[in-house]
Structure 1
Amino acid sequence: MKKRLVALACSAASAAAVAQSSVTLYGVVDANIEYSNNNLAGGPDGKSKVALSSGGLSPSRWGLRGSEDLGGGKQAIFALESGFSVDTGISTQGGRLFGRQAWVGLAAGGHRVTLGRQYSTLFSIFGNYSPTAFATLYEPVVVIAGPLLREDNVVKYQADLGPLTAAAHWSFGEQAGTLPGSAAYGAGFDYRIGSFGVAAAYDNVNSAKVAGDYNRVQKAALGLRYQITPGLLVQAAYRYNNNGVRATNTAARDDLWWIGLNYQATRALALTGAFYYDNLKGLYTATGRTNPANPWQLTLIANYALSKRTEVYVSSAYTKNASLNFESLGGPLGAYQIAPNESSQFGMAVGMRHRF
């Protein structure tokens, strides 16, 4: 009898422990067939291209996140997230196993502190002020938040206090002999009251310190959103950029503006329209700094839900004075490269997204 009681007690304790902790496997698989024109193809004139691509509405990824109840309202939390390309099966983010996110932390009440590879503050705050929710097709995500929208060696604090969300982060540069060398930091907030929302954020990324000095890339953003009706949302934002890193074909100083409308036409059909305009005040080239024509982009998306987890979509964009997503302003690594004799680029994709 005593053995049975002990066994029951152990079983109950084990069940309680399981109930107080959880691990969730999740992910997104997104693929599309895309047509684009005026692509760089080894000559002065552009060529059209048809390709099967990964990530249209969302980058494809899988991940694990979990929590453990520590008592007294405290939790241990973690996230591990890996990006991949559906078309080839390879890992993205340079082949890292968990290149999208890898962090562990503590949470209590509405506060949390996390350590590891994480999103910059500007990126995480302005996901709620992005017309396409930072879709791969077609939003200039890297132009908005910078190529280091994810950073290594980060300690990040976030507070969710009713209508206010505030965050700040520091990324250790880990350069011997200097704290600011190769470091990054930022802070921001998102405040919602009724149908109205306002957000602001600032990010700074330092280069390595050489000969006692380093260069800085500074971005600041201000966003507004208003839920006009339950099915109609308008968003508008401004992003300031001052780039001291003199990389070829990279914006030195620009002011990016955007406005977007999200309309839930039916229970299944969602429509998105967005316009982006970049006041490009300086561009680094191989011969110096220039002031080229200002680029703009119009994006239109129709998304139809087949179920709660599966959608089909059509995305399109037209860009003037730059490549799609303004990626020709970010050096030679952009996915879209426009031919020298061309001044515009058009893209359209038909795809499917499944979330699990």
Structure 2
Amino acid sequence: MNYPRLMLASAALMITQAAFAQSSVTLYGVIDYGLNFVNNAQTIVNGARTGRHQYAMSSSIMQGNRWGLRGAEDLGGGYKAIFVLESGFDVGTGNFQQGGDLFGRQAYVGISSPYGTITLGRQYDSVVDFIGPVTGAVGNGTYSLHGNDINNFGNTYRVNNAVKFTSNTYGGLRFGGLYSLGGVAGSFGTNSIFSFGGSYGFGGLTVAAAFLKARDPNRSFWGNNVNSSSTASNLGSISGVQVNPVYGGFASASSYQVAGAAVQYTFAGAVIGANYSHISFRDLNDPASGNLALTNPRGYTGNASFNSYAAFVRYALTPFLWVNGSYDYLTGGAIQGKEGAKYHLFNAALDYFLSKRTDVYFMADYQIASGTDSTGQPAVASYLTITPSSNAHQVVLRVGMRHLF
């Protein structure tokens, strides 16, 4: 008998078993689906834009649909190898969300340590990480997001090819940053994205701040999915039935910036909070954005900026029944003699938990718009994922169900 070979095989088996014992992979997900009523949704009749009632089913409103795999392997000394693969999907059609990407929500690998975590891949920016959890969208969902999620507080856009550092928590303080390499030979900054931010929690108080800058955003940020266009606007056409009239006319920006801050306080079954952000679309009419006839049909030059203000409250009527409300005010977009627009967004939601993992909810949302929007037309009410109104007002009602696994 070959004892050395037998001993080697036994040792290898023991090492393998130990590695399995120290590793874990978790399957998790969210399924959110419901029925919407919209009192006025744009449609084209005889070549003219008009409004009609709309009944439709939709996914990912109270929370984004997903399924994912999360894994960790203990490397010893407080170090772990980690990974996440997370896919967004539409319940009604079975299609991928996030522009057709298989793992469009997140896909990264990295190392966690006693000093923090470094990850590589498709990831969330610092605005999402630090400000996102302390906004009204937590209880009021997608329809409460400022102007088609103009500041990305709601995580509408992700970052490809990113290197990210997230600190551990030190006395309530946590911070981090991200950098996405554009990958263009001879031009380090082209298509690059960077962000940084932090949060501090003490008792029931949480404060957070973050900054995000995306260069060549029509490609690097709004257009980084498999179904994105390298020539057209990835914020949607501004003619016909509109997609994003709030800021869709600014797709030719050389850079996109968001600076934001948020505060939240939890006490006696209630959560109250507020946030602010300044959003700018800089150096419009950039040829690198694509075909300027498509990304900038209005011929804008210079900078366009917005200011967004919001306040929200959540209150537990019982341990199983929560009432949520928020108000958002967005103003800006003036450029080259074109006046800006103003959007008032009112949201309310009633959320009943059937169990720890399943709830049913009702949402009521109302928006008022005024001024001139990014397309150079009279501003219309517009929600993320909802067809814009044909006029300045829009009501959205929704009944939905969410299940976590």
Normalised by the length of structure 1, the TM-score is 0.87
The residue aligned with 1:71 is 76
What SS is found at the alignment partner of 2:149? Answer: helix
Evaluate the alpha carbon distance shift between residue 18 and residue 177 of structure 1 in structure 2; reply closer, same or farther with a 3 A threshold.
Answer: same
Residue 148 (structure 1) shift: 6.8
CA contact (8 A) 2:322 2:352 kept: yes
What SS is found at the alignment partner of 2:129? Answer: helix
Residue 262 (structure 1) shift: 1.1
The residue aligned with 2:226 is none
2:195 maps to 1:186: yes
Q: Which of 231, 237, 244 is 2:275 aligned to?
A: 237
Evaluate the alpha carbon distance shift between residue 32 and residue 291 of structure 1 in structure 2; reply closer, same or farther with a 3 A threshold.
Answer: same
Residue 12 (structure 1) shift: 6.2
Q: Provide the C-alpha distance between the structure 1 equivalents of 2:404 and 2:178, rounded to a whole number of angstroms.
A: 29
Moved more, 173-182 or 11-20: 11-20
CA contact (8 A) 2:321 2:352 kept: yes
Q: Provide the C-alpha distance between the structure 1 equivalents of 2:315 and 2:9, rounded to a whole number of angstroms.
A: 57
The residue aligned with 1:152 is 160
Residue 142 (structure 1) shift: 2.2
2:142 maps to 1:136: yes
Q: Provide the C-alpha distance between the structure 2 equivalents of 1:137 and 1:346, rounded to a whole number of angstroms.
A: 11
What SS is found at the alignment partner of 1:127? Answer: helix
Please, which runs of 5 or more residues in structure 1 have no aligned partner? none
The residue aligned with 1:272 is 324
Evaluate the alpha carbon distance shift between residue 15 and residue 277 of structure 1 in structure 2; reply closer, same or farther with a 3 A threshold.
Answer: same
CA-to-aligned-CA distance 1:239-294 (integer Å, 9 cap, x gap): 001112645699921110000001111111111100000122x256xxx6622341
Structure in which a larger fraction of residues adopt strand: 1
Q: Percent identity?
A: 32
Q: Cα RMSD (Å) of the superposition?
A: 3.1
CA-to-aligned-CA distance 1:76-114 (integer Å, 9 cap, x gap): 000000000001011111111101100000010250000
Q: Provide the C-alpha distance between the structure 2 equivalents of 1:208 and 1:50, rounded to a whole number of angstroms.
A: 33
Partner AA of 1:304 in structure 2: Y
2:297 maps to 1:297: no
What SS is found at the alignment partner of 1:25? Answer: strand
Partner AA of 1:142 in structure 2: D
* Residue correspondences, number: 341
Residue 164 (structure 1) shift: 0.8
Q: Provide the C-alpha distance between the structure 1 equivalents of 2:31 and 2:113, rounded to a whole number of angstroms.
A: 33
The residue aligned with 1:352 is 401
Residue 335 (structure 1) shift: 2.9
CA-to-aligned-CA distance 1:3-59 (integer Å, 9 cap, x gap): xx9999877655532231100000111100000122111143311100011122112
Normalised by the length of structure 2, the TM-score is 0.77
Q: Provide the C-alpha distance between the structure 1 equivalents of 2:216 and 2:166, rounded to a whole number of angstroms.
A: 26
The residue aligned with 1:45 is 50
The residue aligned with 1:338 is 388
2:225 maps to 1:225: no
The 5 A counterparts of 1:174-213 are 174-207=183-216
Q: Provide the C-alpha distance between the structure 2 equivalents of 1:245 and 1:150, rounded to a whole number of angstroms.
A: 22
Residue 136 (structure 1) shift: 2.6
Moved more, 156-165 or 100-109: 156-165
Evaluate the alpha carbon distance shift between residue 41 and residue 31 of structure 1 in structure 2; reply closer, same or farther with a 3 A threshold.
Answer: same
CA-to-aligned-CA distance 1:298-348 (integer Å, 9 cap, x gap): 1111111111111101112101007xxx99989x996334344x1111101
2:106 maps to 1:101: yes
Q: Provide the C-alpha distance between the structure 2 equivalents of 1:289 and 1:335, rounded to a whole number of angstroms.
A: 30
Q: Provide the C-alpha distance between the structure 2 equivalents of 1:225 and 1:244, rounded to a whole number of angstroms.
A: 31
Evaluate the alpha carbon distance shift between residue 272 and residue 335 of structure 1 in structure 2; reply closer, same or farther with a 3 A threshold.
Answer: same
Q: Provide the C-alpha distance between the structure 2 equivalents of 1:245 and 1:337, rounded to a whole number of angstroms.
A: 29
Residue 65 (structure 1) shift: 0.7
Q: Which of 167, 173, 182 is 2:176 aligned to?
A: 167
What SS is found at the alignment partner of 1:58? Answer: coil
Moved more, 38-47 or 268-277: 38-47
Evaluate the alpha carbon distance shift between residue 248 and residue 75 of structure 1 in structure 2; reply closer, same or farther with a 3 A threshold.
Answer: farther
Q: Provide the C-alpha distance between the structure 2 equivalents of 1:39 and 1:248, rounded to a whole number of angstroms.
A: 24
Q: Which of 26, 29, 32 is 1:30 aligned to?
A: 32
Q: Provide the C-alpha distance between the structure 1 equivalents of 2:364 and 2:60, rounded to a whole number of angstroms.
A: 14
Evaluate the alpha carbon distance shift between residue 173 and residue 289 of structure 1 in structure 2; reply closer, same or farther with a 3 A threshold.
Answer: farther
Residue 228 (structure 1) shift: 2.9
